């Protein structure tokens, strides 16, 4: 075992001693993917929201940057498998080589981050395992100002079911971890009809598949009848141009077909038109009407019905935006709001929305992307912002980090009502990130054998939040702390679940490419009277980025 760990560490370090910078034209590039029309609809899919690379300016003269990296850590835990009756202590060696690639040229926008997380256990060597983690997206302009291609792929890990033991670190083999793989290929055409309108035609093909994430001595260890799926979505939009500045309008057509292995296909389609009126440069109202034409096995209200909404938008300054709406769809009344306000020191984002969705229709947005967007105003320099994001992610101490609770994995259509808010504050040597969320998910389909996962109970609610603090004590020494609390309830059931985590410690820059850290982690979970666990862990690590 010792030799295996040593060779793994040496191999990772050897592979990381390289850095390739491919020089391009001596210029800065636009942050967003060229050609994507403002206000265009986003195709449903697990990665569509992250298809455009994160904003920011690449270093001058460099269009392609390839950054190898590797991290090494040793962890002592007093409850390896998160057991409530038979805790096992063990030492865990973790070796994680990886690579980060960014391309930001005139025609091509690309970001790719890949990590191979290898875990070696001192006592429980039969549990040795590795995980692949991928977050990649890109946009290519194939024909000038006309034809583009979005593509994205991800491989992440998350808890399979909320009603079971899970931790936020992959080093705990709880048996309740699933690998979730998504791909999305979306060619689209866009054209500007002078000052009259801008049109978009897009086709999106999405795949989603699952596999159990690693070995376990207890827990699930199986996926049951959970089915992989594909979806094909056609989208047509036409939005008014500058000739209709005072009375903007739009037409949107979307038709998605979702295919599950061995079960009936699902069709989610809606057609809508909207018209607005700009009372002043700061205030407008919008009326929307349309028709839901869905086709799936359902109970309750038939999923085919006209809908309407009325909304208002207010932007007192360029850095503050507020929008609200109310309306009605076949499942009942609808409400939404969005607030974004930013200044030199802080950014506040808050929203509430109601969506008809399924696992394959959920957007996967990595915590790194969320934090990067949140800190753009406070840290405009791309390199400095990336360093701040990595420091915050390190303070979370989690490969399963989720800022807004866990996604539901279920092969069924459900109604998702979610409120979430994020506050980022940067003050001299301190960075604070606070999040809160309240998510209510209820199935719109009857339960049966091919609809597994947490919605087997018909509904699930999650409420919680995170607090993260990064304090730069000296130019090389930082204090990092993170707290995470989530409460999950299942309406109609007599049990509930509460999860909490605290992660804190120091990190220090040891050299130009080397950072070291020593951290303490505490995790706890209670699940009614069925089980509960507590875990204490100490982690010492080294991170190399070249």
% helix / strand / coil in the chain, to the nearest 5? 10, 55, 35
Give 356-420 as a 3 state SS string: EECHHHCCCCCHHHHHHHHCCCCCCCHHHHHHHHHHHHHHHCCCCCCECECCCCCCCCEEEEEEE
Residue 397: per-residue pLDDT: 58
Average pLDDT over residues 532-537: 92
Percent of the chain past pLDDT 90, that is, above it, reads 48
Convert the pLDDT of each residue in 66-111 to its tens digit.
999 999 999 999 999 888 888 999 999 999 999 999 999 989 999 9
Separation between Cα atoms, residue 414 and residue 443, nearest integer Å: 4
Looking at domain 2-545, which CATH architecture does it have? Answer: Beta Barrel (2.40)
Q: How many Å is the Cα radius of gyration of the chain?
A: 24
pLDDT at 77: 95
Tokens in use for 250?
């739009």
The pLDDT > 70 percentage for the chain reads 76
- Checking if the pLDDT of 186 tops 50, the result is yes
């Amino acid at each position: 075992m010792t030799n295996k760990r040593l060779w793994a560490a040496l191999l990772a370090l050897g592979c990381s001693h390289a850095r390739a910078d491919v020089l391009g034209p001596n210029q800065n590039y636009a942050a967003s993917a060229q050609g994507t029309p403002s206000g265009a609809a986003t195709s449903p899919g697990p990665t569509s929201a992250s298809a455009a690379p994160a904003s920011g300016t690449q270093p001058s003269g460099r269009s392609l940057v390839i950054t190898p990296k590797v991290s090494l850590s040793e962890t002592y835990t007093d409850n390896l498998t998160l057991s409530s009756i038979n805790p096992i202590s063990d030492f865990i060696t973790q070796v994680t080589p990886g690579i980060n690639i960014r391309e930001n040229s005139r025609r091509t926008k690309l970001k790719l981050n890949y990590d191979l997380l290898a875990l070696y256990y001192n006592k429980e060597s039969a549990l040795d395992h590795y995980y692949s983690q991928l977050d990649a997206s890109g946009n290519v302009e194939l024909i000038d100002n006309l034809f583009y291609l979005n593509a994205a792929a991800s491989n992440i890990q998350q808890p399979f079911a909320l009603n079971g033991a899970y931790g936020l670190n992959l080093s705990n083999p709880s048996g309740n971890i699933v690998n979730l793989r998504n791909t999305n290929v979306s060619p689209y055409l866009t054209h500007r009809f002078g000052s009259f309108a801008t049109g978009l035609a897009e086709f999106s093909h999405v795949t989603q598949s699952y596999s159990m994430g690693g070995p376990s001595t207890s827990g699930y260890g199986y996926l049951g009848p959970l089915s992989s799926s594909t979806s094909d979505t056609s989208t047509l939009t036409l939005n008014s141009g500058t000739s209709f500045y005072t009375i903007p309008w739009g037409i949107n057509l979307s038709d998605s077909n979702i295919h599950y292995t061995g079960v009936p296909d699902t069709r989610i389609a809606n057609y809508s038109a909207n018209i607005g009126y700009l009372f002043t440069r700061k205030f407008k109202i919008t009326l929307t009407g349309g028709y839901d034409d869905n086709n799936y096995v359902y109970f309750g209200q038939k999923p085919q019905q006209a809908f309407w909404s009325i909304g208002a938008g207010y932007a007192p300054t360029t850095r503050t935006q507020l929008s609200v709406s109310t309306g009605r769809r076949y499942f009942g009344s609808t409400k939404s709001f969005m607030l974004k306000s930013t200044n030199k020191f802080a950014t506040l984002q808050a929203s509430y929305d109601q969506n008809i969705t399924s696992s394959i229709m959920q957007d996967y947005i990595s915590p790194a992307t969320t934090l990067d967007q949140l800190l753009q105003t406070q840290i405009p320099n791309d390199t400095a912002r990336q360093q701040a994001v990595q420091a915050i992610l390190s303070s979370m101490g989690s490969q399963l980090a989720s800022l807004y609770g866990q996604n539901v994995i279920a092969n069924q259509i459900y109604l998702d009502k979610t409120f979430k808010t994020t506050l980022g504050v940067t003050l001299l040597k301190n960075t604070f990130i606070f999040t809160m969320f309240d998510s209510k998910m209820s199935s719109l389909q009857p339960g049966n054998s091919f609809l597994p996962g947490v919605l087997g109970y018909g509904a699930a609610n999650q409420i919680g939040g995170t607090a993260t603090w990064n304090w730069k004590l000296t130019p090389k020494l930082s204090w990092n702390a993170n707290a995470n609390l989530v409460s999950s309830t299942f309406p109609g059931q007599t049990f509930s679940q509460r999860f909490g985590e605290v992660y804190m410690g120091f990190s220090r820059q040891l050299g130009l490419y080397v950072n070291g850290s020593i951290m303490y982690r505490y995790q706890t979970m209670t699940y009614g009277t069925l089980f509960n666990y507590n875990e204490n862990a100490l982690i010492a690590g080294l991170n190399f980025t070249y």
